[in-house]
Each structure stands twice: as structure tokens, then as C-alpha cells.
């Protein structure tokens, strides 16, 4: 299974978690890691290139920090630009049909805060419903999300464990629950 990880972090240089996750994945030649903000610093996305990249992979994982309960802006732009009619859906579309789509997110809030009783009132799964709906609309298989919470308080050993767990998530034939 060929996996593409699309990293969307507006300030990856200062990111401890997403940068560590990305570095871990880059050690494994069978995983393609694609940093959107590095590839498109002007924000102008090459749809044909991105579509070609997506077509070459069986699993696509979107890695990003949760921004105001959503994706960073360039990832939203990627969806709008790349997942066009005639490619992702509609007549002559369906190029992502049967592919697996997942999300790996980092949050500043604690795991408990992402529950119905918590400060955010919604689970990560609920907050990522638009991505799940997108996957279903283009006939892709949506995978349970991978997440790491309370990132400002993650110890070095917890970070290392999250890297191991994330690699397992990206590689898994059957996604495990993290």
C-alpha cells in the first residue's frame, strides 16, 4: 500500500509535534511526505501536480494542527483546488474511489476537553465530520482519526511514543484505535 501524507502546518519550523511526526515518516521510503506550505508558499496550488500525486497512492493522510476547529487555510484551499468535478466526483470523476483517507491532528486542548462534557463540547471525530463527509462524497474510505492532545505539555517520551503510534497508523492495513 502506497501512502501519501499531506502535511499542512503554516509554521512547521516552530512546531514540535508536527515536525517530529514528519521527520519520523521521512525515514521510511515507502511513505511520501508532502509539505503543502513548503511546496506552495504563495498559496497557489498546482492542481494537476497534486491530482497526479494523489492518484499514485492508495492511502492519503492529512496531517495538521486543529485550527479553530478546522484545517489550516492552505489545506482547505487544497480541497477546493484539487478535488474538482471530473477528477474527484461527477462525470469522468471518481479518481479517489476506494482510496483510504485519514487525518492526523494535534491540539492544544486536553483529550478530556474534546468530549461532549469537555470545554470544546465535541469529540475530534465530530469536529472532523467535514473531512469524513468529503471522503464519503468522493467514494473514498474514511479512516478513524489519529490525534495527539495537549501538545504544549507533551514530554519527550510521550512525543517519541506518538511518533511510533503515528507511523503505525500511517502503515496499518487495519487502522488501530489510538
Structural domains in the chain plus CATH codes? 3-171 (3.40.50.360)
* Model pLDDT, residue 173: 59
For residue range 133-163, what is the model confidence (pLDDT) as tens digits?
Answer: 999 999 999 999 999 999 999 999 999 999 9
Query: What residues have CB less than 8 Å from 113, skipping those under 6 apart?
Result: 119, 120, 149
Handedness of CA 11, 13, 17, 22 (dihedral sign): positive
For residue range 69-81, what is the model confidence (pLDDT) as tens digits?
Answer: 999 999 999 999 9
Amino acid at each position: 500500500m502506497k501512502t501519501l501524507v499531506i502535511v499542512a502546518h503554516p509554521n512547521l519550523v516552530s512546531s514540535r509535534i508536527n515536525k517530529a511526526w514528519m521527520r519520523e515518516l521521512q525515514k521510511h521510503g515507502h511513505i511520501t511526505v508532502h509539505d503543502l506550505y513548503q511546496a506552495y508558499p504563495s498559496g497557489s496550488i498546482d492542481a494537476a501536480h497534486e491530482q497526479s500525486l494523489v492518484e499514485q497512492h492508495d492511502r492519503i493522510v492529512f496531517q495538521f494542527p486543529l485550527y479553530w476547529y478546522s484545517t489550516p487555510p492552505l489545506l482547505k484551499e487544497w480541497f477546493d483546488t484539487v478535488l474538482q468535478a471530473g477528477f474527484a466526483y461527477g462525470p469522468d470523476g471518481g479518481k479517489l474511489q476506494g482510496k483510504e483517507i485519514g487525518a492526523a491532528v494535534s491540539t492544544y486542548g486536553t483529550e478530556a476537553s474534546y468530549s461532549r462534557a469537555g470545554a470544546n463540547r465535541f469529540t475530534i471525530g465530530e469536529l472532523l465530520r467535514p473531512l469524513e463527509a468529503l471522503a464519503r462524497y468522493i467514494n473514498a474510505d474514511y479512516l478513524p482519526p489519529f490525534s495527539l492532545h495537549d501538545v504544549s505539555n507533551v514530554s519527550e517520551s510521550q512525543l517519541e511514543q506518538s511518533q511510533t503510534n503515528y507511523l503505525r497508523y500511517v502503515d496499518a492495513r487495519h487502522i488501530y484505535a489510538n
